[in-house]
Structure 1
Amino acid sequence: MLKAGALYFSIIVAFIIALICASLIMLAAHYRGSYLKEMRMARLNRNMDSGIAYVLAENTKKGQNNIALDLFGDQTDSVLIEKKHWGIFALATVKSFVLADTLKRSFLMGQETGNDTIAVYLSDEDRPLSVSGDTRITGNVEVPKAGMRKSYVDSRPYSGDQLVYGKIGDSKRTLKGLENTWIKEIESELDFDPVQLPTLNSTDEQVSFFSRVRKFNVSGLSQVNNQLSGQVILYSDTTVKISAAAKLDNTIIYAKSIVVADGFKGNCQLFARDSIVIGNDVSLNYPSVLGLVSKEKMVDQAKITLGKNNRFEGIIFSYEPKRSALQTLVGLGEQTTVQGEVYATGLIKLDKGVKVAGKVSCNRFIMKTPATLYENFLIDVILNRKARSRVYLSSAIFTGGAEKQNILRWQN
């Protein structure tokens, strides 16, 4: 006969074996689940890359659109693409999903500029371009057929050993234009009546690019002091004043006039009808934009002016629908540095010590001293196309931008 203890021992052994088997089954199920999850994640990432590649290859002239793609036609790999304009850049949101699993990315896109080697484009008004003092132009230039020449200003000659450290070509009577679809969109935003929008209060706003855009009326505010980031747009039918205490990241402002206080630091796109005035010691990080879109028959000169010792990274442009007697003006103050592009359908005023790492385009240069106003003179300025970052991306608002798109900035 078996002893009773042997029966208990057998039960314990059986229980342990069952426990081990159950643990192995659970472990196998866990690893299988993790493996399948990893495979789904890898599939989602591949689909996401395909969606991003599709967006970057799409025609830059296409505006807002929503596209649902079945990548392989088997109803299991789907990508949803939402595309719109954010200021003068294209904004895309790509969502990759398999059943209930979803990945999403949002990003700004810009135009590659590697083939554009122009440092200065000056429209042909039958006036030569004169250089004096310690001016240096590095890169190719397109100037009037009257050419370039060395000049004396304030008893100082041109100190360089050659006029341009690049090639000299002939310009045309007019600038290369701006894309009409983008200009119309900016004009529509500038003419928008913000009276129905909520007024921006003292609350800070952080709006994800995966959420709906939030729009505010700031017409009645004495100044903007808030911390704003993400999909936030401010509108005003008067003047907007931005204090040095404000923190703007990705924010867009449309107003009649905009004034930025001394010492401000941030990243934003500012668009105005009449004027944009930037104070001293201001830092606007890439990809910031200053855009002036004026109307016909304006009484005063529409202008963008930057004070002294500013650092700007991005695009500065002015536009008028028809050439007027008082052409639009872009003025850069002493010791101001620009990384990017400066474009004016009118005049560009460069004070001494200005440095532009990129491209400058205009109808006419002006410079004012206490005694004289000089036209098409460059005095003690540095314009260096080669100094601009190789990863810099421009905007499709400029015509002739046939180069491919790339990701400018990932958005949260």
Structure 2
Amino acid sequence: MSWPRAKIRAGALQFSVFVGVVVSLILGAFIMLIHIHRTLSVRSDLFLETIRNADTGIQYSLNHEINDSISLPIFEEDYKHLIVSQKQWGAFKIVSSKSTIKQYTFEKVAMVGGWEMKRPALFLKDENRALILVGQTRVEGGAYLPKRGVRSGNISGNSYYGSRLIYGNTRESSEELPSILPVITDSGAQLNSAIPFEQSMQLKNSFLKETTYIYQAAPINLFDANLTGNIIVISNSKITVHPEAKLTDVILMAPKIEVKNNVVGRFQAIATKNIEIGKDSQLRYPSALVVKERISQNIQADQPTEINQIVLQERSRVEGVIIYEGQPKTRNYEPQVVLKINAKVKGEIHCNQNLELLGTVEGSVYTAGFIAKQSGSVYQNHIYNGKILEPALPEEYAGLLFENSKKAVAQWLY
């Protein structure tokens, strides 16, 4: 007995084929998705490793001295490369780390300064004179003092009003200030490639590129210029910064630099004679003021000469470092760094000659001597109403680069 054959409708057969095709497409898409996911995961891992290697390069530069640039041989794979470079940038250093893995490249660049776990409030060079404190003077933190020590004094009927002379531990100083690394103050070799200065310049240059130099032999007046980044402005005579100018991370170089009242910015000013910061001006961290006298400016006893100074006028504020490096003087009764009343430095001062401190330093002072000019008289190694407050400086601050000092990132660059 034979059974009747079942008839399958054509529509059902088409539906079966359709279902099979859909299932195949879904499986194919799923397989492709897995492949793409694995590929992206591998690429993501490679890119993240590239970033981590760049971080490794920055950390290496903080722990080692580098001349120009080096390639770090830290990988077994020949498709991985790490190049670390370093250069002087005014009072700081710039370090960069370029990491490459196959087609991926990542570069980090930072401005670096010196770092110490515990800074002294004061290091006063021993020139066989005691330190004299007068008025509302206050020194908080450790102090390195001459063998003759510290005592209270009197100026025009004003004595010392503190309950202690030094609010911290004291040690004997030496006949030499702690040495800092040289500051680059001469870019003459680069002037052939410099662009001429123009009023109302608008220029931004990445620190990943070559430095842009702007030069003019005559005085430069920065009225409404907007300059940002890897730029050095040079004049053979004087640079004047007006409050309308916008300066960020650039370097100014001239024999004389004047910053007018109410200027706000973040830059380094490097001169061979004078720097003046006007009233109510604010230079944000990490800024620097540097005067490095030329050898030809050596002062003779029988030859009058211009007084070279860094002056911070009333209510001005500088966050960063101030460096004065002068030539030896036979008799010196003038201050080379002056902080007027209510002027403030949040950072460090390193002066190999005299400092007149009427304002406040939230940080550290390294100086060969103090001068107080009051009532027509000059008082050597006197501080009158000045304040040095080392605990007010943040622990992560990075500033003066001493020989063999540790380094830390002061600012990530772009």
TM-score by length of 2: 0.90
Return the offset for 1:219.
3.6
1:168, 1:68 → 2: CA distance?
45
CA deviation profile, 1:302-355 (whole Å, cap 9, x unmatched): 21111100111111011124445457701111101111111111111122xx11
- Among 337, 350, 371, the alignment partner of 2:357 is 350
Q: 1:177 to 1:45 in 2, by over 3 A?
A: closer
After TM superposition, the structure 1 = structure 2 runs for residues 299-378 of structure 1, keeping only pairs within 5 Å, are 299-326=305-332, 329-351=336-358, 354-378=359-383
The 8 Å contact of residues 194 and 237 in structure 1, kept in 2 or not, is answered as no
Comparing 249-258 and 324-333, the one that deviates more: 324-333
> Secondary structure, in 3 states, of the residue corresponding to 2:155?
coil
- Among 205, 212, 220, the alignment partner of 1:207 is 205
CA deviation profile, 1:60-93 (whole Å, cap 9, x unmatched): xx44x22223422221322122221111212111
The 8 Å contact of residues 129 and 147 in structure 1, kept in 2 or not, is answered as yes
1:73, 1:328 → 2: CA distance?
58
> Secondary structure, in 3 states, of the residue corresponding to 1:223?
strand
2:324, 2:51 → 1: CA distance?
41
**Which residue number in structure 2 is paired with residue 266 of structure 1?**
265
Q: Percent identity at matched positions? A: 26
CA deviation profile, 1:242-295 (whole Å, cap 9, x unmatched): 111111111011111100010001111110011111110010111111000002
CA deviation profile, 1:20-61 (whole Å, cap 9, x unmatched): 1222122112211221122212322332232222222212xx
> Secondary structure, in 3 states, of the residue corresponding to 2:98?
strand
After TM superposition, the structure 1 = structure 2 runs for residues 381-396 of structure 1, keeping only pairs within 5 Å, are 381-396=386-401
> Secondary structure, in 3 states, of the residue corresponding to 1:146?
coil
> Secondary structure, in 3 states, of the residue corresponding to 2:295?
coil
Name the Cα RMSD after superposition: 2.1
- Among 164, 167, 173, the alignment partner of 1:165 is 167
The 8 Å contact of residues 195 and 217 in structure 1, kept in 2 or not, is answered as no
Q: 1:193 to 1:26 in 2, by over 3 A?
A: closer
Return the offset for 1:223.
0.9
2:330, 2:81 → 1: CA distance?
52
1:329, 1:163 → 2: CA distance?
25
- Among 6, 9, 22, the alignment partner of 2:15 is 9
The 8 Å contact of residues 70 and 77 in structure 1, kept in 2 or not, is answered as no
> Secondary structure, in 3 states, of the residue corresponding to 1:407?
strand
1:200, 1:341 → 2: CA distance?
32
- Matched to 2:374, the amino acid is T
Query: 2:82 aligned with 1:84, yes or no?
Result: no
CA deviation profile, 1:150-186 (whole Å, cap 9, x unmatched): 122232221111111122333333323343xx24x32
Comparing 42-51 and 27-36, the one that deviates more: 42-51
**Which residue number in structure 2 is paired with residue 197 of structure 1?**
194
> Secondary structure, in 3 states, of the residue corresponding to 2:394?
coil
- Matched to 1:67, the amino acid is I
* Structure 2: runs of 5+ lacking an equivalent: 1-6, 298-304
- Matched to 1:87, the amino acid is G
**Which residue number in structure 1 is paired with residue 117 of structure 2?**
114
Return the offset for 1:194.
3.8
- Matched to 1:381, the amino acid is G
- Matched to 2:173, the amino acid is S
Aligned residues: 398
Q: 1:20 to 1:82 in 2, by over 3 A?
A: same
- Matched to 1:336, the amino acid is A
- Matched to 1:71, the amino acid is I
- Matched to 2:104, the amino acid is D
The 8 Å contact of residues 219 and 235 in structure 2, kept in 1 or not, is answered as no
Return the offset for 1:195.
6.7
- Matched to 2:122, the amino acid is V
1:150, 1:247 → 2: CA distance?
45
2:136, 2:328 → 1: CA distance?
35
